Amino acid sequence: MPAGLRTVILLSFVLAVGFLLIILSCALWQNWLPLLVALTFVLAPLPNALFSHCGSDDLATSYDNAGPAVDLGRFITSIFVVTGFALPIVLAHSEVIDPKACAMSIVGGGLVYATIMAYSAAFSQEDSDYD
């Protein structure tokens, strides 16, 4: 349990750093469009989480034989992730935001998304341990 606690504290710290980078990339140039990146990366795991319980029953334990709903969730998640990376690049390309703001928001968004992924992975690991 101390290891889990340490993991939670570390992940929350990384999450805070990610949000700090995104908000800084907005506030330093007084242009709040990169905040959309945070929104995108927060929303990115949502379709996967929603659809993962859709198509599978308890008997079908096979990982790969997921239904089309699971596929749709993965598809939309992938779209969200690519959108999160592409949006600042596009905005920087048309000089709406500064290139440095673009880099900061991408790094911050990546940190946020990695945090969410690592958090869910750690929790699923603990669930399977205790089952």
Partner 1 sequence: MFSFSKFPQQNWVRTPVEIAVRVETQVQNDAEGYSHGVSSSPSTLHLPQLSPSPANRPSPSRISHMSLPRANYDPRRVCLNPFPEFTLGKHRRTVGVYLAGALFALANWTFIDAAILSAHAKAPWGDPDNDPPVHVSFVDWIPGICSLLGYLVINLIDKDRVRGEDGFGDSRAVWRARLILFIGFALMAGGLAGSVTVLVLKYILKGHPEQFAYYGYANVSQSVALMLSAVVLWIAQNTSSEYEYNLTL
Q: Which of 2, 57, 59, 63 binds partner 1 (CB under 8 A)?
A: 63
Position among 58, 64, 129, 131 found at the interface with partner 1 (CB under 8 A): 64
Task: Report, in Å, the least distance between residue 80 CB and partner 1.
Answer: 8
Of residues 81 and 107, the one with the C-beta less far from partner 1: 81
Least separation, in Å, of the C-beta of 9 and partner 1?
30
Please report how close the Cβ of residue 128 comes to partner 1 at its closest, in angstroms.
18
**Residue 44: other Cβ atoms inside 10 A:** 23
Per CB under 8 A, 117 contacts partner 1: no
Among 12, 78, 120, 124, binds partner 1 (CB under 8 A): 78
* First-to-last C-alpha distance (Å) of the chain: 16
Closest approach, Cβ 19 to partner 1, in A, equals 23
Choice between 18 and 73, CB closer to partner 1: 73
Nearest to 18 by CA among 92, 118, 105: 105
The binding site for partner 1 (CB under 8 A) comprises: 62-66, 68, 71, 74-83, 86-87, 89-91, 93-96
